[in-house]
Amino acid sequence: MDYVDRNIKSELDNNSFFRSPEFQELLKRVDGHTVMGSNKLIFVYEISLNYKDEPMAEVGVYKGGSAYIIANNCEKEVYLIDTFTGLPKVSEYDKHKEGDFRNVDYIEVCNYLEPFKNVKILEGLFNERKNDIPETEFGFVHLDVDIYEATKECLEYFYPKIRNGGSILIDDYDSSATEGCKKAVDDFFENRKEHCITLGTTQGLIIINKEDEK
Ligand SMILES: C[S@@+](CC[C@H](N)C(=O)[O-])C[C@H]1O[C@@H](n2cnc3c(N)ncnc32)[C@H](O)[C@@H]1O
């Protein structure tokens, strides 16, 4: 499968409903650094703003586009984790192939995100780097890993660490190209209170409900 970076500038021209000048400016700055369209990035922008004074994380950084928006909006630490060599081994539930999204250069991503002093980039498999994330209570976590195992691993790690009322945005929840991701989310929340809200963009939003733990 070939992946084409989104032509954000042309989307910007055709989407006059994104009226926030700040969001429009961010779209210009992430152009060429993301496979996400402006219809999805608006949710990354709006939801992260809601948690701006709390720690955030993203797994699935690729060339850094969605991470740039998160880092811009967050006044606390932002942890960004990716292999930066493409997808690891996939499962029977995934349509993606190992190595998809490997056309990325770790140093270039570091340079691109260098203006944000609140960012900590962890290169490698999530499961091998998660212990380098300090014990933190998160407000917002963005998962854009596309595949079953990584989605499962990330939910197992982050769910207990997100505060009551915090959010997880899953980029690939409702896409026929990433059914493994949906399975991991649905399995994880099957016996939990939260419901993954589909946003109509293939993204899913989970608002953490820990009322019973109080
Ligand atoms: C669709 S791309 C992310 C796109 C990005 N959010 C953007 O704005 O374009 C998916 C990324 O997930 C990463 N990934 C998937 N499984 C991973 C794992 N177990 N550990 C670390 N990174 C992983 C891949 O390396 C790939 O860069």
Q: Decide if 26 is inside a domain.
A: no
Q: Ligand 1 center to residue 177 CA distance, Å?
A: 15
φ/ψ of residue 47, rounded to 5? -70, -40
Residue 71's nearest CA partner among 7, 37, 121 is 121
In this structure, are strands 119-123 and 78-82 parallel, antiparallel, or unpaired?
A: parallel
State residue 20's pLDDT score. 84
- Identify the domain containing residue 209 by its residue range: 42-126+143-213
Task: Indicate the DSSP class of residue 206.
Answer: E
Strand order in the sheet with 119-123: 119-123, 78-82, 56-59, 138-143, 162-170, 204-207, 197-198
The total of structural domains in the chain comes to 1
Q: Ligand 1 center to residue 101 CA distance, Å?
A: 7
Q: Decide if 29 is inside a domain.
A: no
Strand partners, 207: 167
Q: Ligand 1 center to residue 211 CA distance, Å?
A: 32
Going by alpha carbons, the residue nearest to atom 22 of ligand 1 is: 82
Residue-by-residue pLDDT tens, the chain, 214 positions:
556 666 666 666 666 556 788 999 999 999 999 999 999 999 999 999 999 999 999 999 999 999 999 999 999 999 999 999 999 999 999 999 999 999 999 999 999 999 999 999 999 999 999 999 999 999 999 999 999 999 999 999 999 999 999 999 999 999 999 999 999 999 999 999 999 999 999 999 999 999 887 6
Q: What is the CA radius of gyration of the chain?
A: 16
Mutate which of 6, 45, 59, 202 to test ligand 1's pocket (most atoms within 8 Å of Cβ)? Answer: 59
Q: Decide if 66 is inside a domain.
A: yes
State residue 165's pLDDT score. 98
Q: Decide if 105 is inside a domain.
A: yes
Cβ–Cβ < 8 Å for 139, 163: yes
Q: Ligand 1 center to residue 22 CA distance, Å?
A: 26
What is the torsion angle, in degrees rounded to the nearest 10, for the CA atoms of residue 120, residue 131, residue 81 and residue 127? 170
CATH number (domain holding residue 159): 3.40.50.150
Atom of ligand 1 at shortest range from CA of 58: 6
Q: Which residues contact 63 (CB under 8 A, 6 or more apart)?
A: 5, 32, 33, 34, 104, 108, 109, 112
Ligand 1 lining (C-beta closer than 6 Å): 34-36, 59-63, 65-66, 81-83, 86-88, 101, 125-126, 144-147, 150
Residue 30's nearest CA partner among 53, 47, 12, 17 is 12
Q: Decide if 17 is inside a domain.
A: no
Please tell me the distance from the alpha carbon of residue 71 to that of residue 114, in angstroms, as a whole number.
Answer: 10
State residue 213's pLDDT score. 78
Q: Decide if 208 is inside a domain.
A: yes
Please tell me the distance from the alpha carbon of residue 139 to that of residue 149, in angstroms, as a whole number.
Answer: 23
Three-state secondary structure call for residue 113: helix
Q: Decide if 4 is inside a domain.
A: no
Q: Decide if 192 is inside a domain.
A: yes
Burial 88-122 (b: 16+ CB within 10 A, else e): bebeebbebeeebbeebeeeebeebbeebeebebb
